[in-house]
Structure formats: C-alpha cells, structure tokens
Structure 1
Amino acid sequence: MTIEMGESSGKIGNRRMRSMATIVLVHGIGQEQEAADTLEAEWVPALAGGVRTAGYIAIADRIQHDRTSKDKIDARMAFYGALYLEAGQQGSDPGEFGAQEGVMAEELAVQWLERAAAQASRPNEQAAAVRELAYVRQEVGAEEAGLGALKRSAIKGVARLRWFAPYGMGFAERFVNKALAQVTRYFTDERIREAAQRSVLNLIDPETRIVIGHSLGSVIAYEAVMRLDQPLPLLITLGSPLGLDTLIYPKLRPQPPFFPPNVKRWVNVADRDDFIAAEPDLTSMFSTGIPSGAVFEGDRTVDCGAEPHRARFYLTKALVGGPVGETLGKSLKSSDAQPAR
C-alpha cells in the first residue's frame, strides 16, 4: 500500500482510498509486509467468532457478511505498516536502530524481561527470564556464564525466551529487533507518529462505534482517540504496552495520560503471559478524568495459550466479543441485540 500525504493538510490519503467503518481495527508490530486487506481477512473472521462465542449470533453474521451486503457491519483495518518500509527512513531495514532508538529499545527489552521474570505463569519461562536478567545485569559470574554471557544485551535475552524458540535464534533476534525498532521509532519519528494516528482517524466518522487496537496499535489507537471531537461508544485495547510506566506511559500524549474524554467504555484485555503487555491492569494509570457515565474495564485477562500475544487469539475470546456485541446491539433491532441463551 502506498502512503499518500495530503498536499497541504499533511494527512495520509486513507480517507480518499477507503470508506469509513463501524469498527476500526489497528494492527500491531511486524506487519510491514502485509496490507489492510490481508490483515482484515485474518482479523474480521476472528472478531466475528468472538462475538459469536459471546452469544451475539446475528451480529456476528453481519460482521462476517460480504462487504456489499446491505446488512454488513463494516470493519476496516487502519494500516500503517508500510510506513516502516518507506524510502528515506533512517536505516535500510525496519529492524535497524538509530542511536536514540537503540537506547530506548534496550530499556524496553529489560522491562519485557522483568515482566516475564515476575509474572510468567509457566515456571520454565519465568526461570529463563530470571536467568537472562542476571546475565544482562552482570549478576552471574564469568566462571558460571562465560565472558560472552556477561555482555549479553537485553534484546538478545528476550529473543531467548520460549516465545521465539521454535524459530531459531537467528530469526528470533531479527523479530525482536524489528518489534523494538517499530515501537521506538513511533515515539522518535514524528512523521510516523502522525501518519499512524491519521490512518485511524481517517476511518472514523459519526457512524463509527468501536476502535480495537492490538500491541503497538493499542498505543496508536489511544493517542488517536484522544484527538476525537465526537463520542466513541467503545475502545478495546489488546496486549497493550500502554502500562510500561518508564518508557511508553511517560511518552504518551497528552501528559499526564488520562481516560479519553469522548470514550463511553474502554475495555483492556491482556494475557498474563503476554510480556509485551507488561502491565495487564491499566486501571490505576488511566482512571483520571473518567467522564460521568463512562465505564473503564482496565484489568480483563484471558488465556491465549502458547502464543499469548497473537491478535487473532485475543479477538476470538468472548471477553472481547461480548462488549462488541453489546455496543453494536444498542443500535440494532431487539432481535439482533440480545445474546443467544
């Protein structure tokens, strides 16, 4: 997908190329080789499945229907992945770091390790994270770990965790580098930050009911929604790093962060073993300024199995589908609005 910049507005051309949406989806890291359409093909059926699991059968059918159907509930992907492949960006690869990015990436990797060491539900995963932190902090003696281990970076330590083991260390390190580079570049490159948010805002109109963001996409969704001048019935954040209190939380805009003033309901969902989500309970960090009548469910947890950060596994859960069905049901006839019993 080519990202077009408006001639005078500085807005990307998403509004011209894609229609508005009832549900706006915002993808996470590592999607630069995808497109809005390919990601929609994965996300939309998964979301419909979660809505169906929650009992909203008629609404799930309308989410899955062909887009030309008059009864279709349209869900669109806000795609920003191509920004990381544009010519002229610093570095020739989306996994390369500039000097400022490298420092932030190493600090972010340390926080991911600390999260896994403190809260991983599987003892072997927790033990691996504790061991890698000891190497990073040089708490392991040379006679135990070898000189190479003493110099191990947090980024390499994250790549050694069970998440990436099936892919081999070479692939794992490249994936981790890419993930960290994309997170840090969002905060250090104003052009990427603005264009990513604009990809969300350009899909929103008065008929939009829901915004769902995963991983880095939850950060982009949050900052974009903070700029809305219209009500948004539901914001859902999945596997979100918004709670990284030393690296991401202090860089959010505006500061200090608070509850989005035009959002009526915010549901945050995290897997306990999703260390990218760092802090699964956002309640204490974003409860300031909750409008009268608004609802904040900032501490919902699910089990996504062996791939705790996969977007599709989050979307299929009733804990996600339920709020979607409830929100959409309020604008539908009563026969569609009630979950099946």
Structure 2
Amino acid sequence: MSAAVAKAMVCKAWGGPESLVLEDLPLPALGPKDVRIRVHAAGLNFPDTLMIAGKYQFKPAFPFAPGMECGGEIAEVGEKVSDLKVGDRVMATTGNGAFGTLVNCPASNVFKIPTSMSYEIAAGFPITYGTTYHALVDRGRIKKGEVLLVHGAAGGVGLNAVELGRELGATVIGTVGSDEKAAIVKEYGAAHVINYSKESIKDRVKELTGGNGADVIYDAVGGDAFDQSLRCINWDGRLLVIGFASGRIPEAPANLALIKGCSIVGVFWGAFAAREPEKNRANFAALLALFEQGRLKPHVSASYPLEQVPQAMQALLSRKTTGKVVIKVS
C-alpha cells in the first residue's frame, strides 16, 4: 500500500513541549489490516507529555509525532479491511502520530462515530471514556448505590469518571485542588466535592459515608491521594490505579489492604484493548449509545491549532484546564 507524508508536530529528541517542531513526517506504507485517517482533530492526554520526555512505557523511534487519539475521516484502507471505507467519519486510538494531518493505525482501533458527534468531540473521546468505562465496570465492578471517590475529578479522565459513575448509579464524591473546579464537577454529577487544598480527603470521605469509606476509588493522581485513599476505603473496596499525574508513584502498606479487606486493582486500558478487542468494542458500543441518548456530554475546555501543541501541553501541565484539551488539525 502507498506511503504518504503528513504535516506534523515532530519529536526528534526527548524533551519538553518546547522541543517539538512543525514539519513534514513521512508515514510508513499502509499495512493490509491498517487504515489511514485524515485527521480533523486530536485529543491531548497527559501521557503525550511523558512520551516526548522519554518517560512513558512506550518509546517510539525518532522522529515521531505524539498524539494518541483523533477524530477524522478514512483516507485509505488496507486490502484486508472490510468494515471501513474511504470517507467514513471515525475516531481512533493511534498510539502516537495523531498530531499530524494524516496517521496510520490498525483498523481494530477505529470506531465509526454518529452523525451527532463532531470531530472535536470524537478526538477527545476514546482514551478517557475507554479507560474510565473499563475501570469502573470491568475492573471496579461498581454497583448501583455504591460510593465512588474520584481523584482529580475536574481533569480529562476524572470528569468522565464522575459522569459515568453517575450514569451507573453511584453516589460520586470528587476531589479537586481549587474551588473554581468544584462547580463543573458538581455539574457533571458529583454529590459532594472535596477541595483537598483546604481539607483532609480521608476525614471528609469518612464523614460523608458515616465512617464507612468509599466502595470504589478512581485514582489517576497517585502520590498523596493514593495514600489517603487506603485510609478511607470501605470493607471490600476497590482502589483503581489509573495513573500518577502527581508525579509520585506510591507504595501500598500491605497491612492496610489486609485490615481493610480491600483490593488494589491495576487498570491498563491499552493492554486490555489489545488483549480483549471484542470486549473493548462492546464497551464502546455502550458508550456511544449513551452519547446518542444525550447522557454523556464530553467537555472540551480548550482547543489549539496544530502549531500550538507546545502551548496546549503547557496549559495541561499547569492544571488550569478542565475536561479535555483538543488540537484542531484541519
């Protein structure tokens, strides 16, 4: 299949956002089970900042474009792809390469989008909603009436966890670092919001739950949030380890897991999607049905043109954004 050249934000050496450059990036020839997408918009994720710094678990060969997800239209299909065609409106997880005008990815990572979904919304949908649905349903086994504690509740995955927790019938408690972020967390379905810069997460969760603690804890923050979580988790609680946005990977005292009868559960959605593609597709069918019913309202707080990816990354790292940050490509 043919090769192509994308205009992309390119990483040539490990570094910060300012090290990226806008230039032509040749794409490899299209594999038989791959598709090429003309990117309209791409979602920015915290792991993109880790990837360009060489701190992510996957290190692409130089030169590469970051960008793990996108919304766009099919420009070309591999010879063994039968369920997608040129012109289809899609969203996709790409691993990297989405911060460019064209990207190749496996057809199995591509999902057709409803006509009611814009490319900008599609761009920021797959990773955070895919991660969160898998976390709460497959790994957290969340049940109606349980208490869900969400750390970093105003962020990309956090706001999705608040929203999906509400849809799944949980009582949601969100944690945020400022009063300004509390309003949107409440708007998306949290019954209570804790500003951890002003009060103890552990003490407040205990107070709100009559001393029991939270049944499911969604932790994409790590560090101090994880430490406090183990001290305010209910009997048979599930502490979901999503990531470490705080920068510190915590260690769990094994005696607390024993005393609390709780589980510390790893959530690695990317590996799940690769190992169990049919289950992942079923999850996405459920998510897209919720979207079409108007029950999910993805929040994009900021969008930047392709040449301003460094500024977008700085905004994300400053923690001034809520929900998703999107890159408009075409």
Structure number having the greater strand percentage: 2
Greater share of helix residues, 1 or 2? 1
Q: Which has the higher contact order (CA 8 A, sep 6+)?
A: 1
Normalising to structure 2: TM-score of the pair? Answer: 0.28
